[in-house]
Every structure is written in structure tokens, then in C-alpha cells.
Structure 1
Amino acid sequence: MTADEKITLWLAQLRAAGRTVLLARLVIAVSGAVALVVSAVQPWDQLDLVPYVGVPLLLLAVVVPDSFAGLAFMLVIALGWVLRAPATVGWSLVLTAIALVVLHLASAFAAQLPSYARVHRAALQRWWLPTATAIVLTGLIAGAAALVHHANVSGSLAVTSAAIALTAATIWLTAGQKLNRD
């Protein structure tokens, strides 16, 4: 297949795409852009490689949401923070974490659908509660981590790990998952 045939096929698939699929990909693009911009405007010296690697990975994650690109993008942003950011938890870190959670959930939603899929509102309702829960708990855990970090509490790693495990269990249960599968 030649390049012009691939572009024609891609444009035909784009014209056939439903609103929900396009909205999910738009959410991927916006949340990824928020993560990139918030990382770029920080006063600490960010790795120069983050935007050069992050932008193509984000574009690939938007076009092909079921690929490895979304995970690689999140890893690039996270490594940029881990390697150069100060050890404090601030609003910019919370905003970046929420943007990455939204990107992850939108990628998971878009990855299960072909580009031409038409999705009914009932299918979206299953995603709203776990998504809202994940976003709220991400902010709450980041705030709790900031409090624990400044309190010099012994065992703060155990507290953080317990909070993450509780968050995972809460999201699992709000998504309507069952613990036993017969």
C-alpha cells in the first residue's frame, strides 16, 4: 500500500469515526498537552529530551490509542519529574498527575473501540464514576502525601502505599468489578 493510499484510508476512517471516539482522542490530546505544558513551565531545569520525545509519543497515542505510545508518554513525563524536580509536592505536580490519569483512562477507553465505532451514552456511563473517582483520589492522595512529607512521619512509604492500594480498590469497586469470577 502506497503512502497516498494509506492517507486516503486514514481520512476515510476519520470521516467514519463517531463523536465519542473523536472526543476520547481529543481528551487524550488535551490531557497530554496539559502534562507537557505544566512540566515545561516549571522553574527547575527540565530535561531537554522530554518535549522532543513527548510530543511525537503524544501524537502517536492520539492516532493509535491502543499502542505502547500512551504508556511511553506517561513514563517520559514521569521520568522528567523524577530526575529533575524538587522533592516537594505542589499544585503543578498534582495537575500533572491528574492529567496523566485522565490520559490513561481516555486511552483505555479509546483503545477498546475501533475508529469507526458508534457508542451509546449507556456505554459512557460505566466510565464516568471510575474516572471521577480516580481524578478526585489522585488529588487527595497527592495532598495527603504532601502532608505526610512535611510532617516527617516515620513509615510514610507505608502510608503512601496503603493510600494507593485503597485507591486502586475503590476504583475497582466503583467500576462495578466483582472480586469472584465464576
Structure 2
Amino acid sequence: MTVAERITRWIAQIHASSQAALAVRLVIALAGAIALVVPGVQDWDQVDVVVLVGPALLIACVVLPDSLASLMFMAVVAGGWLFRAPSGVSWGVVVTGIALLAVHLASAFAAQIPSYAQVSRRALQRWLLPAMIAALLAPVVAVAAALVRDAEVPGSLLVTVAALAAATAAVWFASGQSAIDRES
């Protein structure tokens, strides 16, 4: 198959894709761009690998959400932050964390379906509620964990783990999952 045939097939698949598949890929692109830009505009020196490899990984995340590109993108952005950023919690940390969470959730949803699949809006809406709960709970848990850590409360690790477990349970139940398998 020639390059021209592959491009023609890829364009035909894009035309055949549903609005939900395109919307999820748009979320990946937008959240990934935010995750790249926010650390880049901070006053500390950014790790060069984020600037060099991040945009290529983001493009791969959008085009191939079922590959390791999303994991690598999140590892590069988070690793760049961990190597050079200050240790305090700031708005930049919260925004970057929410952007990475959105990339993760949207990539997980998009990886389940081919780009040319017809997906109903109902499937997208069913995914949206747990995604919004996770996006809203992530900064709350992060700030609460930072406050508990700074207070040097005995058992603060237990409090942090309990908060994360409660957030995970809230997302799990909002997604309509059941701990007991139901045969239908």
C-alpha cells in the first residue's frame, strides 16, 4: 500500500467516524496542549525532553489512543515536573494534573473504540459523569493531602490513602459499575 493510499484510507476513516470519537480525540488534544503549555510558562526551568518529545507524543496520543503514547506523554510531562518544579502545591500543579487526568480518561475511552466506529452520544454521556467527578475530586484530594502533610498529623498517609480510595469509589459507582457480576 502506497503512502497516498494510506492517507486516502485515513481521511475516509475520519469522515466515517462519529462525533463522539472526534470529540474524545479533541479532548485529548486540548488537554494535552494545556499539560504542555502550563509547565512551560512557569518561572522555573523546564526539562528539555518535555519540549522536544512532548508534542510528538501528543500527536501520537490523538492519532493512536490505544498505544503506549498516552502513557509515555503523561510520564514525560509528570517527570519533567518532578525533576525541576518546586515541591509546593500551586495552581500550575493543579491545572497540569487535571489536564493529565483528562488525557488519561479520554485516551482510555478512545482506546476502546476504533476511530471510524459509530458511537452514540449515550456512551459518551455515560463516560462524562465519572470523568467529571474524577476531575473535580483530583484537586480536592491533592490540596487536602498537602494540608495534612504540612500539618504533620500522625497517620497522614492513612488519611491520604483513604481520600484516594473514597475518590476511586465515587468514580466507580458513578460509572454504573457493580462489584458483583450480573448475568444479563
CA contact (8 A) 1:89 1:145 kept: no
Counterpart residue number, 1:34: 34
Q: Structure 2 stretches of 5 or more lacking a match?
A: none
Write out per-residue CA displacement over residues 57-102 of structure 1, whole angstroms, 9 at most, x where no aligned residue: 1100000111110111011111111111111111110111111111
Counterpart residue number, 1:20: 20
Write out per-residue CA displacement over residues 5-43 of structure 1, whole angstroms, 9 at most, x where no aligned residue: 211111111121221111110100000000000011111
- Answering whether residue 65 of structure 2 is matched by residue 61 of structure 1, we say no
For 2:145 and 2:44, how far apart are their aligned partners in 1? Answer: 21
For 2:133 and 2:116, how far apart are their aligned partners in 1? Answer: 29
Which amino acid in structure 1 is aligned with residue 73 of structure 2? Answer: F
Counterpart residue number, 1:131: 131
Give 4+ residue runs of structure 1 displaced > 4 Å after superposition.
none
For 2:175 and 2:70, how far apart are their aligned partners in 1? Answer: 22
For 2:55 and 2:103, how far apart are their aligned partners in 1? Answer: 14
For 2:94 and 2:87, how far apart are their aligned partners in 1? Answer: 13
Q: Give matches, 1:114-153, under 5 Å.
A: 114-153=114-153
Q: Give matches, 1:1-182, under 5 Å.
A: 1-181=1-181
What's the RMSD between the two structures over aligned residues? 1.4
TM-score between the two structures when normalised by the length of structure 2: 0.93
SS where residue 138 of structure 1 aligns? helix
Q: Which moved more, 1:14-23 or 1:88-97?
A: 14-23
What is the CA-CA distance between 1:123 and the residue it aligns to? 1.5
Q: Structure 1 stretches of 5 or more lacking a match?
A: none
Which amino acid in structure 1 is aligned with residue 111 of structure 2? Answer: A
Write out per-residue CA displacement over residues 124-154 of structure 1, whole angstroms, 9 at most, x where no aligned residue: 2211210111011001112212322332333
For 1:56 and 1:36, how far apart are their aligned partners in 2? Answer: 11
What is the CA-CA distance between 1:156 and the residue it aligns to? 2.7
Q: Which moved more, 1:103-112 or 1:25-34?
A: 103-112
Report % sequence identity.
54
For 1:121 and 1:136, how far apart are their aligned partners in 2? Answer: 22
Q: Which moved more, 1:145-154 or 1:67-76?
A: 145-154
CA contact (8 A) 1:38 1:96 kept: yes
